[in-house]
Amino acid sequence: MKLLLSELDKRVDVTLDRSIKTDGVNGVMKFGDKNDYPQRIERIIMGSVTAKAAADIYAKFLAGSGFVNEEINNIVIGRDSRYKKITIRGLLIQAAMSMAYYNGCYIHTNLNLDRKVKNAQLLLFKNCRFSKLDERGYTSKIGYYSNWPKERGVKFKKEDIKWYDIFNLREKVFEKQVIGAGGIEDYKGQVYFHFLDNQYLYPLSPFDSAYMDADTENQLGYHKNNEVRNGFTKKHIFQVNEQLDSNLKGLLAKGIKTWMGSRSNPAMVIETATDENGNIAENKAIKVTTIDSNIDSKLYENWEKELSNKIRKAIKAIPAVLIDYDESKLGTTSGEGIIQATNFYNQMTKDDRNSISEMFKEVFSNSINEKLANNIDWTIKPISLYDTTNLQPATGN
């Protein structure tokens, strides 16, 4: 994906798309100039080894070791699209990953007539958009759709957008929503949204400040791949006698390619005249000339270190040791460094964990499950060193 300077200025624009009018909604608040900021951020993170690893580690620290009240962690609160059980702990992990990528999450809840949460599941952040803001700057609905950017080759169908009321358990508001839906059987439920960044209407990704750095790291990966495939290696020119039969030249060229042992073909086969001064003699078949590469293999080494450091700084200054640690050294003095790094990052992510705790408290204090409704401690237990030994850095999908 090619980035332009103008793209950086417009990537976080929030404007009203008046063309989308359906189900009583008179427009959608676009997220980015092309309504694709979350999709773009996801591609940037997935394409950067450091960003993907940092997001995974950050998410693990946000989810910690689950809630302090271990009794609630395994309570089932819904099922996903594959009809697999969703536990409180599982929803916490999903929400933490959404926070790590986008600084926010959306949770869909189904309610009964007593305004109690029957079940809940996480919605994909990138598929959620707010409806038009009113004169007070508020919005009442959230639209869920998989093609907000209107990608080429995929027909945009506004009738397929699913609209949900925003989480609001006030009796009069709830009654109006249910009546408007035609009864509780047809009521679609509400969506609770929670952002760690509230500077704008939509949250900016934790990686937003390192947007260009993560993309540059990605492009360096492409560059190295092209070096291997297409040849910033030694080049070979095979000069063959012009008197050779064309069929023999073809066979020779094919044979040379098989010698390369690579998908690329860093060889050139040409016809040449001959003489006695360094060229092919008249009765000879071939001469090989080697052209050395002038590419320094360490050209981008400092770039990679700098880029990785900048990306980690953007994610609450995640210590490098938590991403690049060597398991074989855990039993030596370096283990102390990991302990210190874990304690440091637990402190750096403490406020975010507390914010997520408040989110779960607000949603599930209204649960039909008595254990959840009566739970008074929604504190997330910080991750321990034992957990960090399983924090393998991810390299993307």
What local confidence, expressed as pLDDT, does residue 23 receive?
A: 80
User: How far, in Å, CA of 5 to CA of 211, rounded?
Assistant: 12
pLDDT in tens, 181-238: 999 999 999 999 999 999 889 999 999 999 999 999 888 876 666 665 655 456 666 6
User: How far, in Å, CA of 107 to CA of 99, rounded?
Assistant: 12
Q: How many CB atoms lie within 10 A of CB 111?
A: 22
Spatial contact of 191 and 107, defined as CB atoms under 8 Å apart:
yes
Distance of CA 66 to the CA centre of its chain: 23
* SS3 (DSSP) at 151: coil
What are the tokens at 107?
């949770």
Q: Is the pTM of this model over 0.75?
A: yes
User: How far, in Å, CA of 78 to CA of 86, rounded?
Assistant: 5
- Cα diameter, the chain: 101
DSSP summary character for residue 268: E
What local confidence, expressed as pLDDT, does residue 262 receive?
A: 47
pLDDT in tens, 259-312: 554 454 444 555 555 555 555 555 455 666 665 655 555 666 677 888 999 999
Torsion angle of the four alpha carbons 214, 219, 220, 225, in this order, in degrees rounded to the nearest 10: 140
* Whole-number average pLDDT of the chain: 83
Q: Hey, what amino acid is at 384? A: S
Spatial contact of 99 and 356, defined as CB atoms under 8 Å apart:
yes
The answer to whether residue 250 scores a pLDDT higher than 90 is: no
User: How far, in Å, CA of 356 to CA of 362, rounded?
Assistant: 10
